[in-house]
Amino acid sequence: MPQILLGLRPLASPGDALQACLAVLPLLVLTKSGWSGVILVLSAVLGVWIVVAQRNRPFDLPPGQRRWMLGFAVLFCMPVLAIALSQAIRHDWIGRYYDSPARFLLCVPILLALVKLRADVVKFFAYVVPCGLLLTGLVISLKWNLWWDTTRVSTHFVDPLTFGSVNLTLGLFCLLAIDLYQKDEWIVRLYKFCGFAVGLYLSVLSSSRTGWAAAPLVLLIWLNARLAGYRVYAFAAAVLLSLAVFYLSATLRERTGMAIEEIMTYHWDGPNRHNSVGARLSFIRMAAFLLEQNPFGGFGDRGFATFIGHPELNRYAVVKTQEFALNAGFHNEIATNAVRSGIWGLLSSLALFVVPAVYFGKQLWADCKITQRLGLLALGYLLCTFVSGMTTEVFNLKFAASFHAMMLSCFIGALLIRSSSASVNLKS
């Protein structure tokens, strides 16, 4: 097991300090308010320091990987650019709209510094993430926070949708991190599996279905990649385990049943009752209509208030559903940004998922087994985040945007340096 904080010795350099900051990121992300924001600011300052101090040292990457690195740097600038372009067209300058998008911008120097240092922080995450989930479970067991709803558990500053989504994502991370860099000892495997189980349990406890659909997809990808010689038996075991969990959890059965019923009773050519799944389907249709009305300028967060009660929206969405979107957002990462920033927000949101997915997916066919497993881990994380983003905004809350942006930066940095090492080895 690696020394999580780079050993007990004093931090000898800004590079050590940057890795230490990022290494503890998942530890208290759901239990300490402001944790991810503070780490982001410290890491960004250290990243700028490292990049400037080592400005004469070239990035030790082959041309192909260097292009990917620069592409990701541009990608992380896109959310801020989308806000700026749409506001310039609308002549409507509101500073708070930049809060969450700026989190990705601050990760540009972090990514560049990690590549300069050739630092793989994911090797620390493999041990810190299970610990973070166990700590979250301990906090919840000591004091349930029922402020949001008497049946929905979360921590004091995280809404149940985000709480359930992040716990599920990190739980699946623990499963994918088993034997990540080498064959783990049985005690380490048990430790990571406990993190997986606690993450799933906390997600179910939140009663939030956000991201649940990603779990079977990630499990299937993992089984196909990691248990290739036992696919039939592994698949059968996974199905039996999933059925057992489903029937043993009343919450899971109830919430899944409600979702199926709401989908089956949704009217595509008539008004619909305001419920969880039906409202989200209507939100997507509303977003498509509003994007047509102002494709380049968007509406900001509340600029479409004049369309409440519009005949086109009344066809399928009751006024309560329309007002909910106005006051609480569209509960969809892509739809929310398309309405807020027009085509620029749409492209930016899609790019944040598609571009990393393409890069992570390419690593599944790498020659190095560790690179393959890292690519699978990163792809699984991104898939969970994407599926969650279809039912809630995953990058809208500042703490969530900070956390996901830094996690993606660390995944990308680790794969860039490992891919470049593999390229050098192949040439030599």
Predicted pLDDT at 7 = 47
CB 324 within 8 A of CB 280: no
pLDDT digits (tens, 9 = 90+) for 83-132: 999 999 999 999 999 999 999 999 999 999 999 999 999 999 999 999 99
Asked which of 64-68, 148-152, 221-225 is least confident by mean pLDDT, the reply is 148-152
3-state class percentages of the chain: helix first, strand second, coil last, to nearest 5: 70, 0, 25
- Asked if pLDDT for residue 372 goes beyond 90, the answer is yes
CA trace torsion 302, 303, 306, 307 (10° rounding): -80
330, pLDDT greater than 90: yes
> What's residue 146's pLDDT?
56
pLDDT of residue 12: 64
How far apart are alpha carbons 289 and 411 in whole angstroms? 36
For residue 426, pLDDT beyond 60: no
Average of pLDDT values for 283-301? 95
What tens digit of pLDDT does each residue of 248-289 get? 666 677 777 787 888 888 888 888 888 888 899 999 999 999
Residue 148 main-chain phi, psi, to 5 deg: -75, -40
Q: What per-residue confidence (pLDDT) applies to 161?
A: 87
Question: What is the rounded average pLDDT of the residues 170-178?
Answer: 94
> What is the rounded CA–CA span in Å between residue 213 and residue 263?
14
Higher-scoring residue by pLDDT: 19, 250: 19
Task: State the Cα–Cα distance between residues 24 and 5, nearest whole angstrom.
Answer: 8
Of 85, 82, 114, which Cα lies nearest the Cα of 101? 82
Measured in degrees and rounded to the nearest 5, phi and psi for residue 149 equal: -170, 145
Q: By mean pLDDT, which of 103-117, 170-184, 228-242, 330-344 is the weakest?
A: 228-242
Q: What is the pLDDT of residues 61-75, one digit of tens each?
A: 999 999 999 999 999
Residue 11 has pLDDT above 70, yes or no: no
Q: What is the pLDDT of residue 5?
A: 47
Query: How far does Cα 217 stand from its chain's mean position?
Result: 16
Nearest 5 degrees, angle CA 307-CA 312-CA 315? 120
Q: CA 283, CA 321: separation in Å to the nearest integer? A: 8
DSSP 3-state of 348: helix
Q: How confident is the model at residue 190 (pLDDT cuts 50, 70, 90)?
A: very high
Residue whose token pair is 């090797």? 123
Q: Is the pLDDT of residue 234 over 70?
A: no
Mean model confidence pLDDT for the chain: 88
State the pLDDT at residue 112: 97
DSSP per-residue codes, 10-48: PP-SHHHHHHHHHHTTTTSTTTSTTHHHHHHHHHHHHHH
Task: Tally Cβ neighbours within 10 Å of residue 283.
Answer: 23
Q: What percent of the chain has a predicted confidence (pLDDT) above 90? A: 67
The answer, yes or no, to whether residue 148 has pLDDT greater than 70, is no
- pLDDT of 424 > 60? The answer is no
Please check the confidence at residue 405 and state whether its pLDDT lies above 90: yes
Q: Check if the beta carbon of residue 90 is closer than 8 Å to that of residue 302.
A: no
Instruction: Let me know if 48 is exposed, middle or buried by CB neighbors in 10 A (0-12, 13-18, 19+).
Output: middle
pLDDT digits (tens, 9 = 90+) for 349-369: 999 999 999 999 999 999 999
**Residue 421: partners with Cβ closer than 8 Å, 6 or more residues away:** 368
